[in-house]
Amino acid sequence: MSVDQLAEIAKDIHPFVTALHLREKQKSAKELFQAVELLTNVNVPPAKIVINDRVDVAIVAMALGVQLAYHSLDSDCVKEHFPQLRVGTSIHSYEEGQNAKEKGADYLLYGHVFPSQSKPGKPPNGLGELTRLTQLDIPVIAIGGITPENTGQVIKAGANGIAVMSGVLEARDPILAVKDYIKVLKNFSV
């Protein structure tokens, strides 16, 4: 999906979502900043944008935060120098979650929970580990293969929220898809 297509969808769905995570791993800092500008030009507030890995772009764009991976800077380093950023850490296990919490992450992005198109052939991490992670007393956002039909299972397992890519971005009607997720989440009082 092109950034233009993403902006077109984001323009319509941003009033209904908490955050938009720009996960453009192959883009340069300049290209990523241009993507943020494109989003803000269609009225997506920077305060709803989370930048993948690039602290520099998040700061310059005045974004909500940054999502860090295993190869990224540690959360404590980012929080020390840029306390205004909300810092999430992508994790795949309880041990990684514990480490991220100790390093000062504001939340964990855990996945992939269910089989996912973006991780073909890779076994999912499942609901059991998600349930265990929620004992760490740090917000956990679940990602990976999440549909409106299985969102309830994720919330019952203790997740504080969900992150969805293909379920919205590849939907025939992205706004309707977002509303389907919201309807399930409201039933579980998230």
What is the per-residue pLDDT across 111-164, written as a single tens digit (0 to 9) for each? 999 998 787 888 999 999 999 999 999 999 999 999 999 999 999 999 999 999
Residues belonging to the chain: 190
Residue 159 to residues 2, 7, 88, 102, 142, Cα–Cα distance (Å): 30, 28, 14, 19, 6
Exactly one of 21, 81, 92, 112 is catalytic; name it: 112
pLDDT tens digit sequence for 77-104 = 999 999 999 999 999 999 999 999 999 9
Burial pattern 5-31, b for ≥16 Cβ within 10 A else e, equals ebbebbeebbeebebbbbebeebeeee
Burial pattern 146-160, b for ≥16 Cβ within 10 A else e, equals bbbebbeebbebebe
Is residue 112 annotated as part of the catalytic site, yes or no? yes
Cis peptide before 112 (omega within 30 of 0): yes
What pLDDT does residue 129 have? 95
Binning pLDDT at 50, 70 and 90, where does residue 71 land?
very high
pLDDT tens digit sequence for 105-116 = 999 999 999 998
Binning pLDDT at 50, 70 and 90, where does residue 188 land?
confident
Question: Which three-class secondary structure state does DSSP give residue 83?
Answer: coil
Domain ranges of the chain: 3-187
pLDDT over 60 at 49, yes or no: yes
Q: Please tell me the CATH code under which domain 3-187 is placed.
A: 3.20.20.70
Residue with tokens 């507030």: 45
